Amino acid sequence: MTRPLQTELDPEAAAVIEEIEAEGVPEWSALSVASARRVEDEVFSAEDPPDVDFVRDLAIPGPGSETAPESESGPESEIPIRVYRHGFNPANADPPNDDSARPVLVYYHGGGWVLGTLDSIDGACRRLARRGKCVVVSVDYRLAPEHPFPAAVEDAVAALRWTADNAAVFGGDPDRLAVGGTSAGGNLAAVTALRARDEGTVPAPERQFLFYPVTDHAFDTDSYRENGDGPLLTKADMAWFWDHYLRSAVDGANPYASVLRARDLSGVAPATVLTCGHDPLRDEGIAYAERLESAGVAVRHDHHPDQPHGFLSTSDSVAAADDALDEIGAELREL
């Protein structure tokens, strides 16, 4: 790490934070789960997302679906997904001749494993589909506390398996799969890549995109001390999220919850790790990038010392976030 870990907050990012705070959003940890979910949907769902030629909501079989009881709405283990592709509509019988199968990104939203929906990450997925010229499969995995660890992990892995088997239907290339996500979704992407290395039944992604990921069930880093009061994410919030996600503190030592605690990271997919200076998760993201590098994994670590947690969602207002999305798009196109 040659750049400073933290510098003065970007004025454009500060203006966005001021707007969000003006909405009167309390810390997540001060709310009930139900209230936090309502607030998250109201404040963070995209109001005017960019156009994408093809968007389709589906439900795919989840883990154990063959034995799941039927309900009026179908199998209880179904996983809602939303598929995006820009450039041509796969339902069109006559796509452009120069259009070939595209890379596929299986994407997991953030929200501390407790919050988040397909709508709350819709704008980011549309931008990734456009800039990456790829198929994006957004996964609405089961949330805690109703479905604690490892339910979200099992859904994340099941979605990757399904996408590998069905990518061609949407014009995607099953041999160019990637996983990615923000915050807790970055955690699920990293865990899925680790599971793919460990288990022969999980398709191996070509790359993992980890945007300010959660990597460790611990709160003892300098970034927690410096940024524990926010902005946008606090130490109390993360303790609240972990408490809802884990069945007990013992789960926090499991490498499929805390990927930083995996004994060996060699052989996992190459990674792009994005970290932010004004983020409680900064140091554990940096530590994971360093662990990957020391294990011989190719890593592009993109650190933004003047940005807060969640900054990719501010690309409409913050130039640095827009530039970062361009770089991510270029990597997706090159898969």
Residues with catalytic function = 183, 279, 309
Asked whether 219 and 234 are in contact (CB, 8 A), the reply is no
Of the candidates 210, 158, 207, 203, which has an alpha carbon nearest to the alpha carbon of residue 185? Answer: 210
Burial of 229 (0-12, 13-18, 19+ CB in 10 A): exposed
Residue 210: strand pairing partners: 181, 273
Q: Which residues are CB-neighbours of 30 under 8 A, at least 6 positions away?
A: none
Sequence-distant (6+) residues with CB within 8 A of 313 are 44, 123, 124, 182, 321
| DSSP states along 175-242 | EEEEEEEETHHHHHHHHHHHHHHH-TTSPPPSEEEEES----S---SHHHHHHTT-SS--HHHHHHHH
Kindly state the greatest CA–CA separation across the chain. 57
